[in-house]
Structure 1
């Protein structure tokens, strides 16, 4: 069922879904590998789809950690709302990560420790990508991380405009193989977005 839903959404929205199949658990493991779950108070996820990465976040998080999901696709949003009904400290919004600052104000979240992203920056409009990455870089706390995956290196240089440190690792046990980009600011820089 999850596969068919994902495939249907890819066919109808290829630019915003970005993949034919959901991510594998191997990619999910690599995406959460650099998260310090003992210290994280606020984690955001952009484009969770059917919740492959969300499952890992919920599995490892401190129960007091607040997780906020932003899913622009209405069908995926419905799946997520049903799947995580009744989960404490988990907020799900049907909206764009472009408005992340507004949503954070609504939730009373002062900063972000980690942001996981399944957004296909290679196919998103450049202006949308720019807005999302700029706001994200300003919202991250000191030593926070923005972790995303992409299928090509085509957007690596673009992402490096917003983050001074970008570590890349490959996960071949995914269809297609994916590169995980773990992005952070220099240690003496800190998120300064006014909330």
Structure 2
């Protein structure tokens, strides 16, 4: 089954989980991975879907065996295991990352998220961020795309966890047009996770 059809079928089955009618474009994949290189390995990807961002991460030099892909959809997870056999694919809810040690204490250099945060509650978003930042090493960043006009992480959540969001850029070569934000720890923040 081709990528477009696979994505559309998953959207029909679970529209709130998928939250888009088409997979992310190559332009969006290039934008969300713009600040990532092999030096950031290992990398954690949330909501890996059809692997558009994963392919781009491999193209910028992140070895497959240095990728942990989190995907809750069984069809997408199966597809990812087939296409990226050296990667670690976890079929799970990204809000349950807290307490796991995915990188044997070294921490990821980046988290790339394709999760539909705008369709989630503030509590879910907070759990996802807390779990993701518990997997990041110092200096690591969380990259999130959105179809909305601003950062999809509520300001209260950013403030609570001592985080800041910076717009990386926008692309109109995506259906719908999208923006990417880089979320990182504030330098003076007390580290909560």
For the criterion TM > 0.5, the same-fold answer is yes
Match of 2:154 among 157, 161, 164: 157
Name the CA distance, whole Å, in 1 between partners of 2:64 and 2:172: 33
Distance 1:22 1:48 in 2: 10
Deviation at 1:142, TM superposition (A): 2.1
Contact 1:111–1:191 (Cα < 8 Å) also in 2: no
Report the Cα offset of residue 175 of structure 1: 0.4
Q: Is the 8 A contact 2:151 2:165 kept in 1?
A: no
Q: Which residue of 2 aligns with 1:181?
A: 181
For normalisation by structure 2, the TM-score amounts to: 0.87
- Say yes or no: does 1:16 pair with 2:20: no
Distance in structure 2 (CA, Å) of the matches to 1:126 and 1:112: 24
The offset of 1:83, in angstroms, is 1.2
Instruction: Verify the 8 A CA contact 2:98 2:130 in the aligned structure 1.
Output: no
1:26 and 2:27 are equivalent in the alignment = yes
- 1:3-30 Cα shifts (integer Å, max 9, x gaps): 1110011111111101100000000000
- Structure 1 runs of 4+ with >4 Å offset: 188-192
TM-score, normalised via structure 1 length: 0.86
Larger deviation: 68-77 or 57-66? 57-66
Q: Which runs of 5+ in 1 are unaligned?
A: none
When structure 1 is superposed on structure 2, of 150-159 and 179-188 the one drifting more is: 150-159
Equivalents in 1 of 2:191, 2:61: separation in Å?
22
SS at match of 2:154: helix
Q: Partners of 1:165 and 1:154 in 2: how far apart?
A: 10
| Count of residues paired in the alignment | 188
Q: 1:122 to 1:167 in 2, by over 3 A?
A: same
Question: Are 2:45 and 2:113, in contact at CA under 8 Å, matched by a contact in 1?
Answer: yes
CA distance in 2, matches of 1:188, 1:12: 44
- State the distance in 2 between where 1:125 and 1:164 align: 18
In structure 2, the residue matched to 1:81 is: 81
Give yes or no for contact 2:162–2:190 (8 Å, CA) kept in 1: no
* Superposed displacement of residue 110, structure 1: 3.4
Q: Give yes or no for contact 2:64–2:84 (8 Å, CA) kept in 1.
A: no
Quick one: structure 1 residues 38 and 5, their matched pair in 2 at CA, closer, same or farther if it must change by over 3 Å? Answer: closer
Structure 1 residue aligned with 2:94: 97
Instruction: List runs of 5+ in structure 2 lacking aligned partners.
Output: none
Does residue 113 of structure 2 align to residue 114 of structure 1? no
> What value does the CA root-mean-square deviation take over the aligned residues?
2.2
